[in-house]
């Protein structure tokens, strides 16, 4: 991790994420229901999920701001004990401002992971902007860090590990799980 990324990550108290393309791979399934209609579902990565729980356990709040209204997203946010779960918001800056007012944090204390153009206004303002490997070029250009992994395939885990390492929590997690490594950052 370079020194600029380390410095930005060390001040983060809240990780906010877009959902489709970041917390998921962006694929949305419409499944028939018993009434003849359909319901929406999507897949979430379990390693991303546990890393979000580690963040919460180590004092870094989590949340999501999604442009799509989705029950699957809302359920996942609750399962992960996310403090902020906003769905159906294509205009995300007002949501970010509401979260800042509620939390008492500043923009410098917030990291955000986004993959598409609707995420750029937030990414330009927060202390640390992440983009997954599958993000569009314009988003990668404004990100402070582009993950090696794609959304839904470990990108959020990578973001979380950066934050945990910069905040001195990663070694405690390794110790908790009885992992010993000479290669730990």
pLDDT at 1: 80
| pTM for the full predicted model | 0.93
Tell me the per-residue pLDDT of 91-142, one tens digit each, with 9 for 90 and over. 999 999 999 999 999 999 999 999 999 999 999 999 999 999 999 999 999 9
Q: Which fold has domain 3-176?
A: Rossmann fold (3.40.50)
The pLDDT of 148-171, averaged and rounded, is 97
Sign of CA dihedral 79, 123, 86, 13: positive
Tell me the per-residue pLDDT of 3-16, one tens digit each, with 9 for 90 and over. 999 999 999 999 99
| Long-range Cβ pairs for the range 126-131 (8 Å, 24+) | 126/16, 126/96, 127/8, 127/11, 127/12, 128/5, 128/8, 128/9, 128/12, 130/155, 130/159
Average pLDDT, the chain: 94
Sign of CA dihedral 148, 161, 96, 66: positive
Other C-beta atoms closer than 10 Å to the C-beta of 69 total: 12
pLDDT at 110: 98
pLDDT at 181: 66
């Amino acid at each position: 991790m370079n020194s600029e990324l380390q410095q930005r990550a060390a001040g983060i108290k809240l990780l906010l994420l877009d959902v489709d393309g970041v917390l998921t791979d962006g694929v949305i399934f419409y499944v028939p229901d018993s009434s003849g209609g359909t319901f929406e579902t999507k897949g979430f990565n379990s390693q991303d999920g546990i890393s979000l729980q580690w963040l919460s356990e180590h004092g870094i709040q989590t949340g999501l701001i999604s442009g799509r209204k989705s029950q699957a997203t809302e359920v996942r946010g609750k399962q992960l004990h996310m403090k902020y779960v906003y769905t159906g918001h294509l205009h995300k800056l007002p949501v970010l401002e509401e979260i800042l007012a509620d939390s008492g944090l500043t923009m410098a204390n917030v990291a955000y992971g986004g993959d598409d153009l609707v995420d750029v206004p937030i990414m330009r303002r927060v202390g640390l902007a992440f983009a997954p490997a599958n993000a569009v070029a314009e988003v990668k250009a404004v990100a402070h860090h582009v993950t090696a992994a794609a959304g839904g395939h470990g990108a959020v885990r990578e973001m979380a590990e950066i934050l945990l390492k910069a905040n001195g929590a990663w070694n405690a997690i390794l110790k908790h799980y009885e992992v010993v490594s000479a290669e730990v950052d």
